[in-house]
Structures are given as structure tokens and as C-alpha cells.
């Protein structure tokens, strides 16, 4: 199941509520969602590929990507990843109670695909060997980052040796969500911690049972929605229940407390890939080629820069509008037909707050 929800407000003004980042052709003319579906195309049969996204985006996704409408799970409103995963698990369990489900994301750039596939295959194999397991796919950190969760790895899981080439599994000791900078530095230096990628693998019934134990109110709501799925009561029930569910991530709600429970086997599987979470203009900038290598400027669209350095300029104008700058450095400039963003690169994480203020003022 590919999670393709979220509004991508950190990529405002390019990303909007009706045109979220995962549907925009951000990388080489392709959307992040299109790239995510391509990654699984040769390893997961088409009838076992699912999407969870905003209900209003489902028709567009089905039409543009050719994704079967009946395999798109539509959220009436975004309620973070716990609810997206729990709803998907409950719906898939109605079709196959013994399904082993991998949760993937539509806002990451991942390569090589072969290593991604190796890790996913290992996750499936480990859960098939022991359906009680909850698997978290982790990325080896190359710098301290306070916006990611960290998973501390313990002893290796022997049965993973040789199961899938170049992938390895570990018993997960502890989850720590979004530590401060000093703690993040300690984690990276230890060599025992991996970034939580937001991708998981588990037996659907195991996840639902764990949700019932750790988040009983969410489980009750999801169970009510699943019971009405595919019936005339589907829309009234999901429209009433889903917006009332607690907004929380699956890391905070399930994986973190589960890792502290000795009765729940939580494993970390290394995903040895180049991994980019396209969650801000700073991260997206690395996907834009340098048009001026001497001054490290990255430009997409029509722009003229003079005596500028370390700039990211994206011009989405459709009317010939030209972006120009003199003597600037370390700025992000994004121009769209109806809004322009200018901010220092070190304020890129604050774009979400700005987008919320814009939404309040210009509804």
C-alpha cells in the first residue's frame, strides 16, 4: 500500500490542497507518486497494489496513472499516518485476512530500485516466518537530522542472513521520534541507529490487533468504517467517523510503544538505498541540476541571475513571466501564476507555517 496523502505545505506555493506535492511532476517530468508506482511495478502483482490518498484525488490518480479505482482507499480528510495505515489494513483484511502488507510512501526518492526491492522482499519473508512481527525499514543516516525518527538496532536476526542478498534485519530496541540536535548527533555517531523511513511491513491482523491494544479508540472507529466498506453506508460512515479519529503518526502510536513491549517482536530491516524525503524546498533543491556550477545556482524555468550564489529558483510561469535577481545568496525563490515565495534557505522548514497563514487570509 502506497501512502499518497498529505498536502505538502512545505512545498507551497507549488503544492496546494487540490494539487499536493505527490501529484506534481517534480522530478524529470514525473510525479513522486508515479515514481513510487514504478518502483513496485515489477515486484508486486497489479491486483495487490493499493493506494491510500485523499478521496478528492482518487479519480485523478485513477485516470492519469491507470490505477484501479477499487484499489484506491480514499480519506475524506488527512488524519496522519496511523489512520491511513489502519484503514488500509482493515480494508485489505476484508479481502484477504492473511495478507502481509508493506506500507510504502509517495514522497521519497529511492535508488537503486534493486536494493529497495531486496529490503521489501526480506520484510515479507520475515513476517511470513513469524506473523507476530512488526517490521520497520530503516535508512543509514549520513548526518544528524532532527526531523526524522531514529530506530536503535540491537542483535541481528540470524534467519535474515542469506535470505535476501544485501539486506539485513535487526531486533529493534527503541524508537526515538525527532530528537534534538545533540541527541541526533549521538545517534549518528553510535552507528547503531537508523532513520525511520516511514515504511513498514506486517501481517494485517497483527497490526489491527496491536492497534486495538495501543490505540483502542482508533481501532473502534476503523472497525466501524471497514464494516461499512463497499456498502451504501460507506460514505456516511467514513464521513462521520474518520474526521473524529486522533491525528497521530504510526511511529508515535504503534511502533514506538511496541518496541518497548517485550511481547511484540519489532524488527528493523536495513534499506541500503539513496533516500531523499522530498519534504521541503531544501530537499527538493538537490533534484534540480546546477545551472551555474561556479556559483552553485539551481534554476528551473525562465530566470536571469547576476552575482548570485547558492540560489534555488523555480519559475512555473505560464505567461512568460521572468524571474531576475542581483547580488543574492542562499535564497529560495518560487514563482507560480498566482503566488511567489522568497525565503532564506535556513527558513525552508517554516514554509508550512506561512502556507497556513496564507490559507487563513486568502481562503
CA-based R_g, the chain, Å? 21
Q: Which helix (H) or strand (E) holds 37?
A: helix 32-40
Query: 222, 216, 215: which is closest to 237 by C-alpha?
Result: 222
- Cβ–Cβ under 8 Å, residues 153 and 268: yes
Mapping DSSP onto H, E and C, the string for 122-173 reads HHHHHHHHCCCCEEEEEECCCCCCCCCEEEEEEEECHHHCCCCCCCCEEEEE
Cell of 215: 490505540
| Banded pLDDT at 17 (limits 50, 70, 90) | confident
Chain mean pLDDT for the chain: 91
- Cβ–Cβ under 8 Å, residues 133 and 127: yes
Q: Select the more confidently predicted residue: 348 or 42.
A: 348
Q: Select the more confidently predicted residue: 260 or 28.
A: 260
pLDDT digits (tens, 9 = 90+) for 178-209: 888 999 999 999 989 999 999 999 999 999 99
The whole-number average pLDDT for the span 302-318 is 94
pLDDT digits (tens, 9 = 90+) for 129-168: 999 999 999 999 988 888 888 999 999 887 654 555 556 8
pLDDT digits (tens, 9 = 90+) for 110-137: 999 999 999 999 999 999 999 999 999 9
Residue 305 to residue 340: CA distance in whole angstroms: 17
**Pick from 170-179, 266-275, 302-311: least confident:** 170-179
Q: Residue 6 above 80 pLDDT?
A: no
User: Which residues in the chain are classed under CATH 3.90.550.10?
Assistant: 2-279
Position 298 scores a pLDDT of: 94
The whole-number average pLDDT for the span 237-259 is 94
The whole-number average pLDDT for the span 319-334 is 95
Query: 293, 299, 307: which is closest to 333 by C-alpha?
Result: 299
What's the CATH fold of domain 2-279?
A: Spore Coat Polysaccharide Biosynthesis Protein SpsA; Chain A (3.90.550)
Q: What is the pTM of this model?
A: 0.88
Cell of 32: 513522486
Amino acid at each position: 500500500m502506497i501512502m499518497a496523502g498529505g498536502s505538502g505545505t512545505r512545498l507551497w506555493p507549488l503544492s496546494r490542497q487540490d494539487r499536493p506535492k505527490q501529484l506534481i511532476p517534480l522530478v524529470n517530468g514525473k510525479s513522486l507518486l508515479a515514481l513510487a508506482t514504478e518502483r513496485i511495478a515489477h515486484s508486486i502483482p497489479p491486483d495487490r497494489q493499493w493506494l491510500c490518498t485523499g478521496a478528492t484525488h482518487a479519480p485523478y490518480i485513477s485516470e492519469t496513472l491507470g490505477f484501479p479505482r477499487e484499489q484506491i482507499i480514499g480519506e475524506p480528510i488527512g488524519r496522519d499516518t496511523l489512520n491511513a495505515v489502519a484503514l488500509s489494513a482493515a480494508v485489505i483484511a476484508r479481502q484477504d485476512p492473511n495478507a502481509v502488507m508493506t506500507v510504502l510512501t509517495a514522497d521519497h526518492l529511492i535508488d537503486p530500485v534493486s536494493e529497495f526491492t531486496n529490503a521489501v522482499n526480506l520484510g515479507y519473508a520475515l513476517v511470513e516466518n513469524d506473523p507476530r512481527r512488526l517490521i520497520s525499514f530503516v535508512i543509514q543516516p549520513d548526518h544528524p537530522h532532527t526531523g526524522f525518527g531514529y530506530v536503535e538496532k540491537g542483535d541481528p536476526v540470524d534467519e535474515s542472513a542469506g535470505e535476501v542478498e544485501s539486506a539485513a534485519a535487526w531486533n529493534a530496541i527503541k524508537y526515538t521520534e525527532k530528537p534534538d540536535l545533540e541527541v541526533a548527533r549521538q545517534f549518528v555517531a553510535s552507528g547503531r541507529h537508523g532513520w525511520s523511513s516511514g515504511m513498514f511491513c506486517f501481517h494485517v491482523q497483527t497490526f489491527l490487533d496491536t492497534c486495538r491494544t495501543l490505540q483502542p479508540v482508533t481501532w473502534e472507529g476503523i472497525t466501524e468504517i471497514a464494516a461499512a466498506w463497499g456498502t451504501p453506508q460507506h460514505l456516511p460512515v467514513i464521513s462521520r467517523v474518520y474526521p473524529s479519529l486522533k491525528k497521530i503518526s504510526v511511529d508515535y502510536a504503534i511502533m514506538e510503544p511496541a518496541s518497548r513491549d517485550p511481547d511484540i517482536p519489532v524488527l528493523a530491516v536495513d534499506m541500503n538505498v539513496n533516500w531523499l524525503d522530498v519534504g521541503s524546498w531544501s530537499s527538493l533543491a538537490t533534484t534540480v541540476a546546477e545551472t551555474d556550477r561556479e556559483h552553485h545556482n539551481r534554476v528551473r524555468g525562465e530566470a536571469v541571475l547576476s552575482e548570485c550564489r547558492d540560489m534555488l529558483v523555480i519559475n512555473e510561469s505560464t505567461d512568460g513571466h521572468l524571474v531576475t535577481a542581483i547580488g543574492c545568496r542562499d535564497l529560495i525563490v518560487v514563482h507560480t501564476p498566482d503566488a511567489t515565495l522568497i525565503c532564506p534557505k535556513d527558513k525552508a522548514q517554516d514554509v508550512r507555517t506561512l502556507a497556513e497563514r496564507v490559507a487563513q487570509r486568502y481562503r
